[in-house]
Amino acid sequence: MGLRWDLMWKVLPSHLEGAIVTIKLTAFSVFMGIILGTLLGMGRLSRRPVVRTLSGAYVDFFRGTPLLVQIFVVYMGLPQLGLRLSNWAAALTALSLNSGAYVAEIVRAGIESIDRGQVEAARSLGMTGSQTMQFVVLPQAFRRIVPPLGNEFIALLKDSSLVAVISLEELLRKGQINVTRFYRPFEIYIQIAVIYLIMTKSISFLVSRIERRMKLDEHSLAS
């Protein structure tokens, strides 16, 4: 039996709807992850042992445990504590917490890559520690962490397929539903794989453009 091209066209709108949900979920999760990860990354470099230890414990926990388990803890475990979340809110929470841990390490590495002399120069000009971080360190670190942040976006986009286990109708879940309707897993899952590939390649292209633009701006400022 050959491929059912008519079926692939038939299920395509449903899969595109799921892809939109996947992109929205990933974008919101990475956004929240960047905010959380920036705070945690600076916490990892804090001079206060308590802040440094707590930040490190958070990062170790979420990087050292499977994302699927974290999703189950949020969706199935939190209701035992009186906090019941919808499948969308649970997916967003789990992915954001997970992303925050990885972004924290990216931010930490970016901050540590800034030459110490620039920090000392800023402090000699009378800047406080927070001003130095805000106006000197973070802007330069951000340029250096754009590529790994792009990789984190792509990784989370693919990992978001795990939320299908809590019945959130993102791309993979839409495919699972269509498989049960038409009993043609090959055509359906191949189409889903191609959609994921198009999304990841598009993000890679966009990140490359942003990186090149930032390098051009940096060269123009230097000249």
pLDDT confidence bin for 128, thresholds 50/70/90: confident
Q: What is the pTM of this model?
A: 0.89
Sequence-distant (≥ 6) Cβ neighbours of residue 101 within 8 angstroms: 37, 40, 58, 59, 61, 62, 63
pLDDT of residue 79: 94
Is residue 51 pLDDT above 70, yes or no?
yes
Q: What is the DSSP letter of 137?
A: I
Q: What is the DSSP letter of 133?
A: I
- Answer whether 114's CB lies under 8 Å from 132's CB: no
- Answer whether 152's CB lies under 8 Å from 195's CB: no
pLDDT of residue 179: 95
Is residue 76 pLDDT above 70, yes or no?
yes
What percent of the chain is modeled with pLDDT above 70?
Answer: 96
- DSSP codes, 41-81: HHHHT-SSHHHHHHHHHHHHHHHHS-HHHHHHIIIIIGGGG
Average predicted confidence (pLDDT) for the chain? 90
Domains and CATH numbers, the chain: 5-222 (1.10.3720.10)
